[in-house]
A and B are shown apart, each in its own frame.
Chain A
């Protein structure tokens, strides 16, 4: 079974430019997460989808970040315009919710460098 697929793996952009990340979750997984991880720290949740509905986006900087989950499957995360402080690894994860015992499966991440 294919895991969570993210692209691109690496992205270098100049500040003020837009950037987009794509995530294809595991088939059948209804919950999708986007996390941001800074060097030496744990992942921080940006947004969580239950099917196509964003149910937790309190940590998403909505002035520059946006996300969507098409038909409750693939998802894109966009930053426009990017700032130097956005340099981080962006992780996508998915899970199949069955009660509270949900194990999340992570993609390899996209390492973003803003210069």
Chain B
């Protein structure tokens, strides 16, 4: 069973708008990662934030992590049609076990 949940399950926005998706988990973690999945390229790693970090940026991506609330958010700024995909949070607890969340389906419309 999955130990991460994401919301919203689905999100539809216009190109140029920002998209925010949230992830909650239940266990202690070493790091939290975000992945993107589309039919063309499969699952691709986007960004990793360590448990002792609170915020991280990579291009148009901004990730926050609140370990006290066991939650993370991914913000995509100035979205593009090419950002249309499913986004998954994933985290490592003990060892290298990588557990995924349920995913958010993002649709960016022109």
> Interface of A with B (CB < 8 Å)?
31, 33, 35, 40-45, 48, 50, 55-56, 91, 93, 95, 97, 100-109
Interface size on B, residues (CB 8 A): 24
A101 and B97 contacting across the interface, CB-CB below 8 Å: no
B88 and A43 contacting across the interface, CB-CB below 8 Å: yes
- Given A44-B100, A48-B97: A103 and B42 interface contact (C-beta under 8 Å): no
> Interface of B with A (CB < 8 Å)?
1-2, 4, 30-31, 33, 42-45, 48, 50, 88, 90, 92, 95-103
- Given A108-B42, A109-B42: A42 and B100 interface contact (C-beta under 8 Å): yes
Which B residues are in CB contact (< 8 Å) with A56? 95, 97
Which A residues are in CB contact (< 8 Å) with B97? 45, 48, 56
The total of Cβ contacts below 8 Å across the A-B interface reads 63
Minimal Cβ-Cβ distance residue in A for B103: A42
A45 and B99 contacting across the interface, CB-CB below 8 Å: yes
Q: How far is the CA of A44 from the CA of B45 in the complex (A)?
A: 16
B43 and A43 contacting across the interface, CB-CB below 8 Å: yes
Which B residues are in CB contact (< 8 Å) with A100? 30-31, 50, 92, 96
Minimal Cβ-Cβ distance residue in A for B94: A56
Q: How far is the CA of A44 from the CA of B97 in the complex (A)?
A: 11
Q: How far is the CA of A102 from the CA of B93 in the complex (A)?
A: 12
- How near does chain A come to B1, taking the closest CB pair, in angstroms? 8
Residue in A33, A42, A93 whose beta carbon sits within 8 Å of that of B88 in the complex: A42
A95 and B103 contacting across the interface, CB-CB below 8 Å: no
